[in-house]
Amino acid sequence: MNTKYNPLFEEFTFKSGVRLKNRILMAPMTNFASKKNGEVSDEELPYYRVRSNGVGAVITAVAYVTPDGKGFVNEISAHSDEMIPGLKRLADTIKGAGAKAILQIFHAGRMAPPELLEDGQPVSASAVVALRPGSVTPRELTEGEIETIIQAFGDATRRAIEAGFDGVEIHGANTYLIQQFFSPHSNRRTDKWGGTLEKRMAFSLAIIDVVKATVDEHAKNPFIIGYRISPEEKENPGITMEDTLVFVDTLAEQDLDYLHISVQNFWQGSIRDEEDKKSRVTLIHERVGDKVPIIGVGSLHTPDDVMKALDTGVPLLALGRELIVEPNWIEKVQSGEEDTIATTLTNDDQEKLIVPDALWSAIMNTPGWFPVVSK
């Protein structure tokens, strides 16, 4: 291995005591390959197995915690104990290949496609439609329903523990329900769950509290609790970087193992102010990185790209599309074969790359999402 890449392979120990063998994680990516009822399918296991050999940890595709929170066709579920055997197969597959296994959990809120819901009615903090084509106005959740969803995150965490996962990532990003409660666009409530910036944090903090309590009660081994956050929204009113910096100050006091910053590009500046070019990831790291480890992500294609990001002081980096295009990314760096890392794919590569049918179809039919080239 080229010695300049040694820092990528330094071990990292979380506050919980879980140790990673290196600084690279597989980012959470929806694969549309679970069974219709949310069970893990046979098709998902080899996809994860081949990508778990090199990375320190795998963060799975997101799992919904209640049926009305389903966000994708054939999405993995953690909403009932019937899902535990399948989740165990997934955790065993990832861990068997040498990586730590982290289950990402969420509720889609107003972003849930109506056709996937039993009553066809998405729910959210308030009855405010998302500014997306074809969006449906959600129904405002009652206080009782809010408490039920909060507990569902705890129940999903227990299932992750019983299935043998090493941790959970609470998905508070990408416009889904947890973010909807924090956003002044989607949360117009005047009760304890909305209004001031502090009240808009309450739902997130209540979920963190129930997840922590569940881990304290059920986990016999060290268990990771991470939280994913999107720094800004384009909407007005919407989440600003000023809001987020106050929020991460609070999150940094919650004894979390990490904050995962969800952006398209690690170096991306503001999506609200084109003049503000400062990386949102490094801004948050500079603000709270001395209190809680930051995971950076986004368009880090080559080992040199990852090293440049690591040089900012951000201690952990996640790779997403890069590991789909090149499942052996880590192994090739370790063996000094970084020049052979694939950065493009062709329409004939599905079998070689071990990608589920539905995900492959999405890759092939979404221009610009992946670097697809003609043979």
H or E, element range at 116 = none
Model confidence at 256: pLDDT above 80: yes
Residue 261 confidence (pLDDT): 98
- Is 5 noted as a catalytic residue in this protein? no
Mean pLDDT of 206-232: 98
Diameter of the chain measured on Cα atoms = 58
Instruction: State the burial class of residue 136 (Cβ atoms within 10 Å of its Cβ: 0-12, 13-18, 19+).
Output: middle
Mean pLDDT of 315-342: 97
CA atoms within a 13 Å half-sphere pointing along the CA-CB vector of 327: 16
In the set 47, 48, 176, 258, the catalytic residue is: 176
Mean pLDDT of 169-197: 98
Mean pLDDT of 348-359: 97
Domains of the chain: 3-343 (3.20.20.70)
CA atoms within a 13 Å half-sphere pointing along the CA-CB vector of 368: 0
Strands 24-26 and 57-59: parallel
Contact between 267 and 279 (Cβ < 8 Å): yes
Q: Would you say the C-alpha torsion 116, 117, 123, 129 has a positive or negative sign?
A: positive
Model confidence at 27: pLDDT above 80: yes
Contact between 316 and 296 (Cβ < 8 Å): yes
Band (pLDDT 50/70/90 cuts) for residue 84 is very high
What are the E-state strand segments in 154-293? Answer: 167-172, 224-229, 258-261
Query: pTM of the prediction?
Result: 0.98
Q: Which phi and psi angles does 358 have, rounded to 5°?
A: -65, -40
Alpha carbons 362 and 283: distance in angstroms, whole number: 33
Write b or e for each residue in 207-219: b if 16 or more Cβ atoms lie within 10 A of its Cβ, otherwise e. bbebbbebbeeeb
Mean pLDDT of 299-309: 97
pLDDT above 70: percentage of residues in the chain: 100
- By residue count, the chain amounts to 375
Contact between 183 and 232 (Cβ < 8 Å): no
Model confidence at 375: pLDDT above 80: no
Residue 47: how many other CB atoms lie within 10 Å: 21
Alpha carbons 128 and 195: distance in angstroms, whole number: 15
Counting other chains too, the contacts that 160-164 makes at CB distance below 8 Å and 24 or more residues apart are 160/78, 160/87, 160/91, 160/103, 160/105, 161/214, 161/215, 161/218, 161/219, 161/223, 162/84, 162/88, 162/218, 163/84, 163/87, 163/88, 163/90, 163/91, 163/103, 164/88, 164/91, 164/92, 164/95, 164/101
Q: What secondary structure letter does DSSP report for 7?
A: G
Alpha carbons 366 and 191: distance in angstroms, whole number: 41
Mean pLDDT of 135-153: 98
Mean pLDDT of 201-228: 98
